[in-house]
Structure 1
Amino acid sequence: MRTVFFVSDGTGLTAEMLGHSLLAQFAGIEFKRVTLPFINTPEKAAGALETIHAQAEKDKNRPIVFCTLVDPAVKPYFRTNEALILDPCDAFVSLMESELGTPSSHRVGAAHAIEDLRVYMGRIAAVNFAMAHDDGVLPRDLAEADLILVGVSRSGKTPTCLYLALHFGIKVANYPLTPEDFGSQGLPKLLAPWREKLFGLTIAPERLAEIRGERTPNSRYAAADNCRFEVEEAEALMRRCNIPYLNTTRLSIEELATTILHRTGLTRFGGGAG
């Protein structure tokens, strides 16, 4: 067990993203992860350093600290030998200043600030759209959708919709394929006008049964043979109707979203084919 701190004068998201990516390369070690956001005054910095030193004493080894601090009044507090300090700002900002011929602004929270109000409001609108169009509700305005995800219930449609909306401003609806949709050779009536917007998600039947079993144990809905039937029929429908699809069983939401953007040609922050 090693303790890892993510220290930031903002939200800590940048430190966490960098840290999680690096820690993932050390699968044999268990990490205790602690985030210390909004360390934006000398007093808070002193308190955070005290917490880190106390953890070092408790663990009997040095914590690992991912820092994304830019305030010159705060950064000096994290020059300590009692922790391994990893600071990407120190590593890269000076190189960029030299290359660009201009000093950094050292502005706290710049990475997650609302720089472009239009883009920000577009992301909020996309999130609201995804929530309003979850599981096929509000079908009347699917013309506004940039993308419509289809697949059996619990195949990962809702989290993928919300991720695409929040991170990329893509308006995504989703439609759950049910046994009622498997009888005909064509698309469900609601989806037929929007064939070009459709993208499918599928999943291993065994994994689907596990997920459904957590939600409704010992139900027909979660039965292994029913899950196998639904997945096979949904995949057959997608192949007949030339709907591209991905298997979500071993893909993260980030991988799903990025692959969907790449395969559909949708552009970040505004939809539309790129």
Structure 2
Amino acid sequence: MKSTDVFFVSDRTGITAEALGSSLLSQFESVEFNKIHLSFIDTLDKAIDAVEQVNRASSKAGSPVLVFSTQINHEFRVMMSKSDCVFFDFFDTFISKMERSLELKSSHTAGRLHGLSHNSNYTDRISSINFALGSDDGLGAKSYENADLILIGVSRSGKTPSCLFMALQYGINAANYPLIEQDLDNTRLPESLQPYKHKLFGLTINPIRLQKIRDERRSNSNYASLKQCQNEVKRAEDLYHTNHIPFIDTTQTSIEEISAKIINKLSLR
């Protein structure tokens, strides 16, 4: 498999550069990308060092590496564009085009998206994160009334990370409930969930993948046995079908995709 270094460069956290860059990289499944983050490149010395790192990587590889940048500072962007790399300048690609279209200059403020003082949804997102943590693994039955949705599924099917992602990115109050042995004895919904059926969304997963995940957590246990995983997944899906609960398979699905599908299905945005 071919491999190459990829740099994500930013004046701030680099979250946007990585998100945009990774969406493009995902289209090349036959290439192994070694991702390198150069965040908070906000001084000349740091910019010079970043350029040197990129040049060294390209020299070692024998060909230009990839650089995805959301740098605001014009001088630093020019420096990086002249280095030995294939340069993807998201700022120039999108902001400059918008400036021409709107006939206005942007604020050129670094970290605008993630800045606390400029994000009107920040408090809501923090509140939702606390909600997700407080209602993790069925702990928040009393708070289900305030939940926007309740994810259900067998242990290690992806409930907690999905809830936290939706809280962080969208300010959604997402609770989750783990389906345990007692819940799977029949296809009747657990009593605590029955009043909130309209908020439920199920997750399922390939039993072989589930077995590998569980084995990392509790090796050579019945909990991690393939037979147990197959049994739990089948009974969970039976419960979904019987109660007409929408569900998705998380086996080959990213947290971003899981969240987007849930939000769309339940019309949460």
- TM-score (norm. length: structure 1): 0.91
Per mean C-alpha deviation after superposition, the further-off stretch among 43-52 and 249-258 is 43-52
Partner SS for 2:18: helix
Whole-angstrom CA distance in 2 between matches of 1:4 and 1:117: 29
1:209-246: CA deviations, max 9, x gaps? 22212211221112222222211111111222221111
Q: CA RMSD in A?
A: 1.7
Give runs of aligned pairs for residues 237-252 of structure 1, distance below 5 A. 237-252=239-254
Give runs of aligned pairs for residues 33-44 of structure 1, distance below 5 A. 33-44=35-46
2:124 aligns with 122
Per mean C-alpha deviation after superposition, the further-off stretch among 158-167 and 210-219 is 210-219
1:206 aligns with 208
Amino acid at match of 1:89: F
Residues matched between the structures, number: 267
Please tell me whether the aligned partners of residues 54 and 83 of structure 2 are also in contact (alpha carbons under 8 angstroms): no
Question: How big is the shift at 1:177?
Answer: 1.0
1:32-85: CA deviations, max 9, x gaps? 221111111222211211222222333322222112111234223223152222
1:3 maps onto 2:5 in alignment? yes
Per mean C-alpha deviation after superposition, the further-off stretch among 19-28 and 197-206 is 19-28
Give runs of aligned pairs for residues 7-22 of structure 1, distance below 5 A. 7-22=9-24
Which among 102, 112, 131 is matched to residue 114 of structure 2?
112
- In structure 2, stretches of 5+ residues that fail to align are none
| Residues 141, 24 of structure 1: alpha-carbon distance in 2 compared, 3 angstrom cutoff | closer
| Residues 86, 233 of structure 1: alpha-carbon distance in 2 compared, 3 angstrom cutoff | same
| Residues 50, 103 of structure 1: alpha-carbon distance in 2 compared, 3 angstrom cutoff | same
Whole-angstrom CA distance in 2 between matches of 1:218 and 1:135: 23
1:70 aligns with 72
Please tell me whether the aligned partners of residues 128 and 174 of structure 2 are also in contact (alpha carbons under 8 angstroms): yes
1:89 maps onto 2:91 in alignment? yes
Partner SS for 1:30: strand
| Residues 82, 141 of structure 1: alpha-carbon distance in 2 compared, 3 angstrom cutoff | closer
Whole-angstrom CA distance in 1 between matches of 2:32 and 2:262: 32
2:174 aligns with 172
| Residues 62, 114 of structure 1: alpha-carbon distance in 2 compared, 3 angstrom cutoff | same
Please tell me whether the aligned partners of residues 2 and 32 of structure 1 are also in contact (alpha carbons under 8 angstroms): yes
1:127-159: CA deviations, max 9, x gaps? 111111111013222111111111111111111
1:231 maps onto 2:230 in alignment? no
Partner SS for 2:133: helix
- TM-score (norm. length: structure 2): 0.93
